[in-house]
């Protein structure tokens, strides 16, 4: 860990709920907003997904803005229209994969226009640059190297790795560790292979953000939904040996009491390893 004056990456959890934003006192501790994370370097502000949490974005001054979108399911892009409205005069580079035959620009255009939204992206007083990425993308945002691998998730999703100055962050949201079922179609990919692939992709990372929406019992009822469990997170930790792991994409029906109890189970099962549930507002310095 670094200090505020000495770090390569500063990660802020802007929102860590999965599937749907929620409200209420019983869920205030871990937060209400959906997936969005801010990674800051000296000159870059890299946002991971644009769920409702992006509305918690702090002022990053003159840092260049880049947005990495794992996939365009609504909980990962719902905050984007308001964010664009609050970013007057900014230049924003948007990275995302083509899915269902649509570029990321075209995917977002399905949402940010009538009848779902009153205005189009062209109306906003911002300059958007769209950058397509491939399944095994490798590119740079300033001094940060970004690589990607494809996840197991209905419709697809990108897992991102950010590297700079020997520090590594892996963002593995919306990842299913088992062979997913989508309707009557079974994926031809090997489930064990994809989990091992993620472990190799994450090997030696300083921080891994891992989708642990369920516990093992819940997962058995939710196969094919495209998410994983905290028990599999522990397995990944043993294989990849990251320095720290944040568990993310909390189910909307998981109250603070439920997540507190889950946290105690994780603590007991992990035997002191640096694995914990993410909370909205958390800051990690690397």
The pLDDT value recorded for residue 182 is 46
The pLDDT value recorded for residue 226 is 94
Q: pLDDT tens, 160-192? A: 999 999 999 999 999 999 865 444 344 445 555
Closest CA to 108 of 152, 73, 143: 73
Q: pLDDT tens, 190-209? A: 555 889 999 999 999 999 99
pLDDT above 90: residue 61: yes
Q: DSSP of 126-152, one letter per residue?
A: SEEEEEEE-TT-EEEETTEEEEEEE--
Topology (CATH) of 10-285:
Metallo-beta-lactamase; Chain A (3.60.15)
pLDDT above 50: residue 120: yes
Query: Alpha-carbon distance 30 to 44, whole Å?
Result: 27
Q: pLDDT tens, 223-271? A: 989 999 999 999 999 999 999 999 999 999 999 999 999 999 999 999 9
User: Helices marked H in the chain — which ranges?
Assistant: 80-85, 104-111, 191-202, 216-221, 230-240, 256-270
Q: What percent of the chain has pLDDT over 70?
A: 93
pLDDT above 80: residue 23: yes
The pLDDT value recorded for residue 193 is 85
The pLDDT value recorded for residue 192 is 56
| Phi, psi (rounded to 5 degrees) for 20 | -160, 140
The pLDDT value recorded for residue 179 is 64
196-227 in b/e form (b: 16+ CB < 10 A) is: eebbebbeebbbbbbbbbbbeeebeeeebbbb
What residue spans define the domains of the chain? 10-285
Q: Which of 114-118, 157-161, 221-225 has the lowest mean pLDDT?
A: 221-225
Strands across the sheet with 275-277, in order?
A: 138-141, 144-150, 158-164, 167-172, 207-211, 245-248, 275-277
């Amino acid at each position: 860990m670094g200090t505020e004056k000495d770090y390569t990456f500063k990660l802020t959890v802007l929102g860590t709920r999965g599937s749907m934003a929620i409200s209420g006192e019983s869920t205030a501790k871990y937060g209400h907003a959906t997936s969005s994370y801010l990674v800051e370097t000296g000159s870059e502000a890299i946002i991971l997904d644009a769920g409702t949490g992006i509305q918690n974005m702090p002022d990053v001054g003159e840092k260049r803005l880049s947005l990495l979108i794992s996939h365009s399911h609504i909980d990962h892009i719902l905050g984007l229209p308001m964010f664009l409205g609050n970013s007057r005069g900014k230049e924003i580079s948007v990275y995302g994969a083509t899915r269902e035959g649509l570029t990321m620009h075209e995917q977002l255009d399905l949402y940010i226009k009538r009848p779902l939204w009153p205005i189009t992206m062209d109306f906003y007083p911002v300059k958007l640059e769209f950058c397509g990425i491939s399944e095994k993308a490798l590119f740079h945002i300033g001094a940060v190297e970004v690589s990607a691998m494809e996840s197991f998730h209905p419709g697809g999703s990108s897992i991102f790795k950010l590297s700079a100055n020997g520090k590594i962050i892996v963002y593995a949201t919306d990842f299913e560790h088992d062979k997913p079922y989508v309707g009557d179609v079974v994926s031809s990919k090997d489930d064990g292979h994809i989990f091992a692939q993620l472990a190799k992709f994450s090997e030696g990372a300083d921080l891994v953000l891992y989708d642990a929406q369920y516990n093992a019992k819940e997962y058995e009822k939710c196969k094919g939904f495209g998410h994983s469990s905290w028990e599999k997170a522990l397995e990944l930790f043993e294989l990849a040996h990251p320095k720290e792991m944040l568990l993310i994409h909390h189910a909307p029906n998981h109250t603070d009491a439920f997540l507190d109890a889950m946290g105690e189970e994780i603590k007991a099962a992990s035997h002191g390893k640096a694995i914990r549930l993410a909370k909205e507002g958390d800051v990690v310095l690397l």
